[in-house]
Amino acid sequence: MYWDQATETMSRDQLEELQLKRMKETLNRAAKAPFYQTLGIADYVIKDLSDIQKLPVTTKQDLRDAYPYGMVCTPLQEIIRLHSSSGTTGIPTVVYHSREDIQMWTELVTRCMYMIGVRPDDVFQNMIGYGLFTGGLGLHYGAERLGCLTIPTGPGNTKRQLKFMKEFDVSVIHVIPSYALHLADTLEAAGIKPKKEFPKLKSAILGAEPHSEETRAKIEDFFGIDAFNSYGLSEMNGPGVAFECPHKQGLHLWEDAFCFEIVDPETLKPTSPGERGELIVTTLTRQAMPIIRYRTKDLTMRITAECACGRTHQRIERISGRSDDMMILKGVNIFPIQIEQILIGTPGVGRNYQIILESKGHNDHMILKVELDPSMFIGDISSLEKLRAKLIRELHDEILITPDVDLCEPGSIPVAQGKAVRVIDNREL
């Protein structure tokens, strides 16, 4: 049941002792990187874990400013790999790994996969991008370490994905949730029943983008499988930071490798358990490029209750969005996931949607493009009008804005190769 029982079920006291020891080592190592030297990190003294709050935070901008080598604290000959974040603007953020870093990352990913029941006799199809993006190689190394037959398809080419899944009797897939929904659409359009086509398929690992509980349920129902939420970011290796156990009540964040805080994004003061805030993470084992108090911008909540699985590493709630993704419309703060929850949970609504923001005079205006199930286009048009009215009503109750709802046929909204583009902001500044 456990990949590494001693670590996964370590008592909280032992775990915190380990964290403190690793935190001190991390500070010593980080002090060799030009960026942290400038911050005078060597002068900070950590006596207990709460002292972490005295340390400066590190932002994505800091990583950019330190580009290309300002965060590295080991000689280049000890570094064997770099990865870069998927951000599309400006200078990329680059993260460097030593051999030990890659081994530790692999260990964490293997631990996650084992936790959800992946075993050496599984056939694993990895539909997430290889290359600079961390999703592909991260899971790839973990699956191989576990001993699975690993198929590195990467993203896209839906026909081939489905063919491989069928012909190699794939049992586990790793997929971006929006792409899983696209696969479902494609199968449905071809009248293919997933349980018949892929009798061995048992689980999907969903990662790389925020998705709602409703989206998970839709994927699980359609394919007849279990789907597990996988969270990570390239600054913290990539996948393998936090992952759902079979109980699916939040994601265990591996505290032997990372120290996490949840803070108010404005004041950076810790939030109380049960209160949502920004996740801040410190690497505890990274050799080549330790990162101290990284501001992820991801919003979540700490779950302190013990988990029925016996793992002692605390859980975080599924990420509800990035503080960057928050849209402010007519003064109201809205996250795309609030809209997704309503859409995906409504019968008749399909699996893809897009939010378009425009200026109407001096006002903000939202147009919501929503793909529908093909069955909605057969027969009575009044059912479309009823659905539109229902959506507008429920959306207004949730986000206090009355959007225009544009009901479209399946396949009319483009599907991204990587993370879905949910919001297009055409507003004038």
Which one among 166, 322, 369, 427 touches ligand AMP, defined by CB under 6 A?
322
Across-strand partners of 96?
Answer: 82
Tokens of 421: 């583009």
User: Judging by DSSP bridges, how do beta strands 332-334 and 349-360 pair with one another?
Assistant: unpaired
Which one among 125, 153, 178, 229 touches ligand AMP, defined by CB under 6 A?
229
Taking CB under 6 A as the rule, which mask of x and - marks residues 345-384 in contact with ligand AMP?
----------------------------------------
Q: Is 19 in the site for ligand AMP (CB under 6 A)?
A: no
Q: Are 45 and 31 in contact (CB under 8 A)?
A: no
Q: Is 303 in the site for Zn ion (CB under 5 A)?
A: no
Q: Is 226 in the site for ligand AMP (CB under 6 A)?
A: no
Taking CB under 5 A as the rule, which mask of x and - marks residues 248-287 in contact with Zn ion?
----------------------------------------
Alpha helices in 190-304 (DSSP H): 194-197, 213-223
Dist CA 229 CA 227 (whole Å): 7
Q: Is 124 in the site for ligand AMP (CB under 6 A)?
A: no
Residue 182, SS3 per DSSP:
helix
Q: Which does 376 bind (CB under 5 to 8 A by kind): Zn ion, ligand AMP, none?
A: none
The site for ligand AMP, by CB under 6 A, has a size of 18
Q: Is 319 in the site for ligand AMP (CB under 6 A)?
A: yes
Tokens of 7: 């670590």
Supply the minimum distance, in Å, between the C-beta of residue 115 and ligand AMP. 15
Q: What is the dihedral of CA 41, 44, 50, 52, to 10 degrees?
A: -10
Nearer to Zn ion, 29 or 216 (CB): 216
Which one among 113, 309, 357, 370 touches Zn ion, defined by CB under 5 A?
309
Dist CA 168 CA 17 (whole Å): 46
Tokens of 55: 């340390």
Report long-range pairs for 273-278 (Cβ below 8 Å, ≥24 apart).
273/301, 273/302, 273/303, 273/304, 274/301, 274/302, 275/301, 276/300, 276/301, 276/317, 276/320, 277/301, 278/323
Nearer to Zn ion, 31 or 307 (CB): 307
Q: Which does 309 bind (CB under 5 to 8 A by kind): ligand AMP, Zn ion, none?
A: Zn ion
**Stretch near ligand AMP under the rule CB under 6 A, chosen from 1-9, 157-165, 232-240, 348-356:** 232-240
Supply the minimum distance, in Å, between the C-beta of residue 311 and Zn ion. 5
What amino acid is encoded at 388 in this protein?
A: R
Residues 80-109 that bind ligand AMP (CB under 6 A): 85-86
Q: Which does 244 bind (CB under 5 to 8 A by kind): Zn ion, ligand AMP, none?
A: none
Q: Which does 134 bind (CB under 5 to 8 A by kind): Zn ion, ligand AMP, none?
A: ligand AMP
Residue 323, SS3 per DSSP:
helix
Tokens of 102: 């890659």
Dist CA 318 CA 252 (whole Å): 10
Residue 334, SS3 per DSSP:
strand
Q: Which residues bind Zn ion (CB under 5 A)?
A: 245, 247, 307, 309, 311
Binding residues for ligand AMP, per CB under 6 A?
85-86, 134, 207-210, 229-234, 238, 296, 298, 319, 322
